[in-house]
Amino acid sequence: MTSSSLAAPFDVSLRPDRPALLHVDPPADPAPWAARYREALRAQVTEHGALLVRGLGLRDADQVRAVFARLAGELMTEREAFAPRESHGPGLYSSASWPANQPMCMHHELSYALDVPGLLLCACLTAPAEGGATALADAEQVLRALPADLTDRFEREGWILTRTYNEEIGATLAQSFGTEDRAEIERYCRAHAIDFDWRPDGTLRTEQRRSAVVQHPLTGRRCWFNQIAFLNEWTLAPEVREYLVDEYGEDGLPCNTRYGDGTAIGEDVVRLLNTTYEAHTRREPWQDGDLLLVDNIRTAHSREAFAGERRVLIGMAEPRRLADGRPIPEASER
């Protein structure tokens, strides 16, 4: 099946088990090509939630930076990162540093921030020998598939993310906040509705309450938009969770999530969220030179376990402060 909203010679392939896939003849220079077809490409992202472009032959960070700029303009500087990234210039990063044998389950990039990326751009310079797909799931479909009593609770209360920063696991203070200066970090937290507490040993613990269900700013449709499952302790491999609890204590885990009223989220709920994502997952293995454009609010993404070298660069663009991105504390009492 093909879509006619892009002019020939474009051929957008649509299948229920994979993202919309556009095959193109390799252009002499991908950047002018991206500028020429920007509106048509973005229309496909709006229509399908994501678009994988194959055939551009992206080879290096300079090419990727130029293509991203033509498609999205200025890229965002990442703040509140949960895992380290390598920087390749303003707004251009490596994919998050995460063990290759451990999958990163479905999530929306920076869904816990006040200013969230509307658009996620990914470019594959080196595809892994095995696995490593950036899989996708439609957040509208996931919301409809989840039990109403569960989503109603999260919609009323929101969800809470707790983080404890240390120098061993996850992003450091400098990587997350762009500084190690306490006063600057505190100013950032106050400006972004993040409660914070400096522990006696100098570590920082933060807590922020965010919405789990939001309206898409363009379509108005409700989306399951959060990182409740991904950043929860029960998504961790059992041996990893056991080590972290032994090392830091249950209250000192690098990341964890709770219901908006502060109560713990059970392992059964996290398992249900992840299996629902999996039932709605679309995947296409990376090939060298691929470009992936993702509507970050409508579409969740994951990173599957892999073998071999995997080089994927990412950019985030079009920051949006969602009107319903932070639940009203009294909402659950009405």
78 three-state secondary structure: coil
Lowest mean pLDDT among 2-11, 295-304, 320-329: 2-11
The answer to whether 280 and 137 are in contact (CB under 8 A) is: yes
Q: Which has the higher per-residue pLDDT, 73 or 327?
A: 73
Mean pLDDT, residues 277-290 taken together:
98
Residue 298: strand pairing partners: none
Architecture of the CATH domain 11-101+115-138+284-320 = 4-Layer Sandwich (3.60)
H-only helix segments in the chain? 30-36, 38-48, 61-72, 139-145, 148-157, 173-177, 182-191, 238-248, 267-279
pLDDT above 90 coverage of the chain, percent: 86
Residue 121: strand pairing partners: 293, 315
Question: What pLDDT, on a 0 to 100 scale, did the predictor assign at position 186?
Answer: 98
**Cα dist. 82→165, 177, 208, 293 in Å?**
10, 11, 14, 22
Which tens digits make up the pLDDT trace of 170-225? 899 999 999 999 999 999 999 999 999 999 988 999 999 999 999 999 999 999 99
Which tens digits make up the pLDDT trace of 20-50? 999 999 999 999 999 999 999 999 999 999 9
The CATH superfamily assigned to 141-275+327-333 is: Clavaminate synthase-like (3.60.130.10)
Residue 117: strand pairing partners: 319
* pLDDT at residue 8 is higher than 90: no
Domain ranges of the chain: 11-101+115-138+284-320, 141-275+327-333
**49 dihedral zone (left: phi>0; alpha: psi -120 to 50; beta):** left
* pLDDT at residue 17 is higher than 80: yes
C-beta contacts of 262-266 below 8 A and 24+ residues apart:
262/160, 265/228, 265/232, 265/234, 266/234
Which tens digits make up the pLDDT trace of 121-169? 999 999 999 999 999 999 999 999 999 999 999 999 999 999 999 878 8
What's the mean pLDDT when you consider all of the chain? 93
Give the closest residue to 226 by CA, choosing from 320, 274, 158: 158
Give the closest residue to 210 by CA, choosing from 330, 117, 326, 80: 326
Give the closest residue to 224 by CA, choosing from 121, 144, 327: 144
**89 dihedral zone (left: phi>0; alpha: psi -120 to 50; beta):** left
Confidence band, pLDDT 50/70/90 cuts, at residue 300:
very high
**Same fold? 11-101+115-138+284-320, 141-275+327-333:** yes
Which sign does the torsion angle of CA 321, 94, 77, 80 carry?
positive
Sort 84 into a burial class: Cβ within 10 Å, 0-12 / 13-18 / 19+. middle
